[in-house]
Amino acid sequence: MTRKYFGTDGIRGRVGDSPVTPDFMLKLGWATGKVFAGSDGSKPTVVIGKDTRVSGYMLESALQAGLVAAGANVKLLGPLPTPGIALLTRTQKAEAGIVISASHNPYFDNGIKFFNDKGSKLSDDLELQIEAMIDSPMATVDSEQLGKASRIVDAAGRYIEYCKATFPESLSLKGLKLVIDCAHGATYHVAPAVFDELGAEIVVIGATPDGYNINDGVGSTEPEALQARVVAEGADLGIAFDGDGDRLQMVNAQGELLTGDDVLYILAMHRVANGDSDAGVVGTLMTNMGLELALEAGGLRLARAKVGDRYVKELMNAEGWSLGGESSGHIICGEVSTTGDGVIAALQVLAAVMASGRSIADLASGFTPLPQVLVNVRIGKDFNMAAHSSIKNACDRVEAALEGRGRLLLRASGTEPVIRVMVEGDESVEIDRLAHEVADAIKQAA
């Protein structure tokens, strides 16, 4: 079935435009409460957390009202990284968790993501049940059946302690100088505490949110400020999080950017060196082919999932593997986290650095990415690529030019109205020209 409201990762859009409006969020909260109510009529518990966008207050209040009207109890977490909300959903024995965030998007966007009682993203079936309930008439339960709302005042502290507990007790970060970029987002009060309390010398940027500056010139999608600061401070490495803290980018001492593929390689090889029995790593369709080759050289297989950390996690479960992630920096360390977690992924990389005595650049040196070009093309809401033969003809020409020396991938974003055109190939392929040939065909058709 086609989903009406949910995209790749929940519901997202510009605040004030449907569906990111107070009236829709009221109905969404009510529908969620109804779907997660017990078959015996028992009240479900739903936790709600958010990032630092000014619109979070409005959406939180609307969701809370809808949930209470459906007879659900609500526990408010305040600003907290997405993986922290997943954690508290589990530890509070809640039936569901709600994240109010638009991740790496600008402040004027916002959205909703859900977790189930295990701290994992909702199944397609549950999303469809919520969508069906949204389209049903809303009725408030009798007063004696209304839910109640309460606040967990130490939510951030609980997540901080959990993150620290995932770092090996025998190791310390003493002697490391780190630059931490919190994107003025949900990690602003969490990440600095974690790395400081584990012994690192830290320099913090992007940690003064005002509701409007999230992801503005900082964070994992704009790492230039971090790269410059690492070099200026003479730091050992830098870590940038996105607005909701479920992904990261890392920078080595030379100010060079490491992608999520680099992080996956470092973690995979560290596990191999320590006798990990996993046979492989889960990536996505966007994972660089160079990582696949590097992992094969290390005796590991790469399995590709659809883009989206929920699909990465599903394939990890199917393969029985504990490590997976995306090039964008969503890294799932399955033995300690149920979803992408930037802070925990960074700690796992730092554990590899401290245990091996090697720099992050040295640890990543066995992976050489194939050149890759990504071009984003903005489209209209109802644009259908399949209806335009000119796009297919451009793709056919590009694939013929690649001649098995690379890959062409077209993917519609699940979070914004763009088509992502990716071309990857060895040094002999003019990947930039080929990518723009397809992108231009899409622009003309759109």
Beta strands in 67-169 (DSSP E): 73-79, 96-100, 109-116, 149-151
What span, in angstroms and rounded, lies between the C-alpha atoms of 112 and 128?
15
Distances (CA, A) of 389 to 148, 376, 386, 434, 438: 56, 20, 7, 17, 12
The catalytic position among 39, 55, 101, 103 is 103
Closest CA to 266 of 356, 139, 170: 356
Is 103 assigned a catalytic role? yes
What span, in angstroms and rounded, lies between the C-alpha atoms of 207 and 444?
41
Sign of dihedral through CA atoms 118, 121, 124, 126?
positive
Residues 6 or more apart in contact with residue 76 via CB below 8 angstroms: 47, 48, 49, 60, 64, 149, 150, 151, 152
Q: Which two tokens stand for residue 113?
A: 């993501």
As separate numbers, helices (DSSP H) first and strands (DSSP E) second, the chain gives 14, 18
Report residue 310 CA to chain centroid gap: 9
Sign of dihedral through CA atoms 95, 112, 413, 432?
negative
Is 249:304 a contact under the CB 8 Å cutoff? no
| Torsion, Cα of 298, 303, 306, 310 (10° steps) | -80
Number of other CB atoms surrounding residue 135 within 10 Å: 10
Pairing of strands 45-50, 96-100: parallel
Q: Which residues are catalytic?
A: 103
